[in-house]
A and B are shown apart, each in its own frame.
Chain A
Amino acid sequence: MAGPFAVHWSLDLRVYPYPGVHDVLERVPQGPVAPPSTP
């Protein structure tokens, strides 16, 4: 395969809580996401 190809990816995270313990799960803001840079 030499031509372009499309990819769809997904990442799911789950954090299970301990009883009575508060947990946090969030994406850290990174500002605008730049396209991949040229090496």
Chain B
Amino acid sequence: MAAGPALALDVATPSEPIVLGPDRQAAVREVEVRWRPTGSSPLPTATLEVATSPSTRGGVNVLGAAYDVTDVAGPVSSALPQFGGYEEDPFAHCRPGIECVRRFLVTFVLKTGDTTTYNWQLIVHRTDLSKVMRETTIPVALEIIASADPIGMPSTLHLEGDFTYTSTHDLAPIPLRVRSEITAPSEGSRIPTSGFTAPMWPIPGLMRFSVAFARDPGDDAWVSVDVDPGVDCAGAVSGGPGTPLVRNAFVFCAPDTVCPNLTFYVTPAIRPELVAWPDRLPSTGAWI
């Protein structure tokens, strides 16, 4: 929803297209929200919304969030406090009669899906209708002051393994721990002015999991991969060779959750009734 100058209940950044897809799974923006009082302008009260479109066709594909980074002055070593959208007032720290500038880190994470152009806006929803009606100017302005989009050749990591299931005792998940971390920006990068927050930016990490059986196990066995924390992929790969599972492995990791270390659980499964006869299958196996 664009700003409506007649009432100015909503004030927003210009709608900006961002392209998100398998090779661009995240983006960050920094937005300055400025309140410039004139005369006896009362202190506004409002809420913030990160709006993306399209967003809800067949489920929410893009997670948008805002973080107040006004006071970030050094490297961030822990999770940023997420701004509560409708529950918090972006002007809560402002003082009456004094110009107030707040900076917000806006993050976008693609959960899954093909390359798509999304239009986004950061919207200030004024909740003080009685004050707005008395205003003769629009004292609130939003400006996108910096942007960062992943681009270029990725870091890659390849893991693979073979296993022969010969016992129903061998069904414990196999943990594979991976570290992915975004570190401090280099000098001169075009990044948000609070680039100290870079380690907390969403990690554009694409996961591709595939499985192949030496021979078709029918419906009796399958292999799944779960990612801890956050991404529920259980059952998404099953029944033998098929379409690889491709999705953002880090979708719930940043910036509100710090998880540079992920654990992928590769889990075999056998039809429950076969567990009743474990002696039918001797146990051997090896993992890479």
Is the pairing of A and B real?
A: yes
Chain A 15-39 interface residues, beta-carbon cutoff 8 Å to B: 15-28, 30, 33, 35-39
Decide if A18 touches B149 in the complex (CB within 8 Å): yes
Partner of B155, one of A17, A30, A36, A39: A17
Interface size on B, residues (CB 8 A): 80
Decide if B281 touches A14 in the complex (CB within 8 Å): no
The contact string, 1 if C-beta is below 8 Å from chain A, for chain B 52-76, is 0000000000000000000000000
Considering the chains assembled together, what is the distance between the CA atoms of A9 and B208 in angstroms? 11
Known: A5-B164, A7-B223. A27 touches B157 (CB 8 A): yes
Known: A4-B165, A5-B215, A6-B215. A24 touches B155 (CB 8 A): yes
Partner of A9, one of B23, B182, B223, B274: B223
The contact string, 1 if C-beta is below 8 Å from chain A, for chain B 260-284, is 0100101010000010010011110
Decide if B156 touches A2 in the complex (CB within 8 Å): no
Decide if A11 touches B159 in the complex (CB within 8 Å): yes
Considering the chains assembled together, what is the distance between the CA atoms of A36 and B287 in angstroms? 9
Number of A-B contacts (CB under 8 A): 218
Decide if A35 touches B25 in the complex (CB within 8 Å): no
Considering the chains assembled together, what is the distance between the CA atoms of A26 and B177 in angstroms? 9
Measured CB to CB, the closest approach of chain A to B34, in angstroms, equals 26
Known: A9-B211, A24-B179, A39-B171. A15 touches B201 (CB 8 A): no
- A residues near B (Cβ < 8 Å) are 1-28, 30, 33, 35-39
The 15 listed contacts between A and B (C-beta, < 8 Å) are A2-B280, A5-B165, A6-B165, A7-B212, A8-B160, A9-B210, A9-B212, A11-B225, A12-B156, A13-B156, A19-B189, A23-B182, A23-B203, A27-B179, A28-B179
What 8 pairs across the A-B complex have the smallest Cβ distances?
A20-B189, A6-B214, A16-B150, A28-B177, A14-B154, A10-B160, A25-B155, A4-B166
Other A-B pairs beyond A11-B160, A16-B205, A22-B182, 17, CB < 8 Å: A2-B280, A4-B281, A7-B162, A9-B163, A9-B266, A10-B161, A11-B225, A13-B205, A15-B154, A16-B25, A16-B151, A24-B180, A25-B178, A35-B285, A36-B169, A36-B268, A38-B172
